[in-house]
A and B are shown apart, each in its own frame.
Chain A
Amino acid sequence: MGEPARDPARVPRPAEGLAAVAHRAQELLPPESVIADHTRLRTYECDGLAHYRVTPGLVVLPDDAHQVAEIVRACAAHQIPYVARGSGTGLSGGALPHADGVLIVTSRMRTIREVRRADQRAVVEPGVVNLDVTKAATPDGYYYAPDPSSQLICSIGGNLAENAGGAHCLKYGFTTNHVLAAEFVTPQGEVVELGTDAPDAPGYDLLGAVIGSEGTLGIVTSATVRLTRLPEEVRTVLVGFESTDQAGAATSAIIAAGIVPAAIEMMDALAIAAAEEAVHCNYPEGAGAVLVIELDGAAIEVEQEYAEVERLCRENGSFEQRLATDPVERALIWKGRKSAFAAVGRISPDYIVQDGVIPRTALPEVLREMTRLSEESGVRVANVFHAGDGNLHPLVLFDDSVEGAGEAAEKVSGAILDLCIEHGGSITGEHGVGVDKSKYMTRMYDDDDLDTMQMVRCAFDPANISNPGKVFPTPRLCGEVPGRHKDTHPLQEAGLAEVF
Chain B
Amino acid sequence: MRSTLERTARDAVSAACEDVVPGGEDDLVDGVAPGLVARPASTEQVSALLRTAAEHGLTVTPRGRATKLSWGLRPRSVDLVVDVSAMDRVLDHQAGDLIVETQAGARLSDVQRVVAEGRQRLAVDETMIGATIGGTVATNASGPRRLAAGTARDLLIGITVVRADGVVAKAGGRVVKNVAGYDLGKLVVGSFGTLGVVVEAIFRLHPLAEVQRWVSMPVSTAAEAAEAVHAVVHSQAVPAAVEVEWSAPGDGAVQVLLEGRADAGDGRAATVAELLGAASVTSEEAPTGWAAYPWEQGETALKLTCVLSGLSDVLEVARDAEVRVRGSGGAGVLYGALGSDAVTTTAAVTRLREVCGRHGGTVVVLDGPAEVKRDLGPEGVWGPVPALDLMRRVKDQFDPDHRLSPGRFVGGM
Residues of A within 8 A of B (CB): 116-121, 141, 162-163, 165, 169-170, 173-174, 176-177, 184, 186, 192-194, 196-209, 211-213, 229-232, 252, 255-256, 258-260, 297-298, 300-301, 303-305, 357-361, 386, 389-391, 424-433, 437, 441, 444-445, 448-453, 455-460, 471-472, 481-488, 492-496, 498-500
Contact = CB atoms under 8 A, between A and B. Distances in A.
A298 B268 contact: yes
Contact of A481 (B177, B379, B389, B397): B397
A230 B235 CA distance: 9
Interface in B290-344: 303, 305-309, 331-333
A378 to B, nearest CB: 30
B388 A162 contact: no
A7 to B, nearest CB: 21
Nearest to A181: B360
Interface stretch (B9-17, B90-98, B242-250): B90-98
Contacts of A472: 181
Nearest to B95: A256
Given A452-B184, A495-B412, A486 B401 contact: yes
Contacts of B236: 229-232, 298
Q: Return the 7 tightest CB-CB contacts between A and B, nearest first.
A: A208-B186, A197-B360, A258-B207, A198-B361, A232-B236, A198-B305, A452-B169
B190 interface: yes
Contact of B175 (A163, A260, A425, A453): A425
B263 interface: yes
26 contacts: A197-B307, A198-B305, A198-B333, A198-B361, A199-B332, A200-B305, A200-B362, A203-B410, A203-B411, A205-B190, A208-B187, A256-B96, A260-B206, A298-B264, A357-B177, A361-B96, A389-B176, A429-B175, A429-B178, A433-B181, A448-B167, A452-B167, A453-B182, A481-B400, A484-B401, A487-B57
B179 A428 contact: yes
A199 B230 CA distance: 17
A486 B261 CA distance: 58
B162 to A, nearest CB: 10
B128 interface: no
B208 interface: yes
Contacts of B268: 298, 300-301
A496 B407 CA distance: 12
Interface string B250-280: 0000000000110110011001000000000
A300 B391 CA distance: 47
Given A359-B175, A441-B180, A495 B396 contact: no
B153 interface: yes
B346 interface: no
Contacts of A252: 96
A141 to B, nearest CB: 8
A165 B393 contact: no
A485 to B, nearest CB: 7
B374 A498 contact: yes
A121 B307 CA distance: 9
A119 B307 contact: yes
Contacts of A471: 181
B85 to A, nearest CB: 25
A484 B178 CA distance: 34
A358 B175 contact: yes
B66 interface: no
Nearest to A391: B177
Contact of A493 (B263, B333, B383, B412): B412
Contacts of B398: 455
Nearest to A207: B186
Interface in B357-413: 359-362, 364, 374, 377-379, 382-383, 385-391, 393-398, 400-402, 406-407, 409-413
Nearest to B236: A232
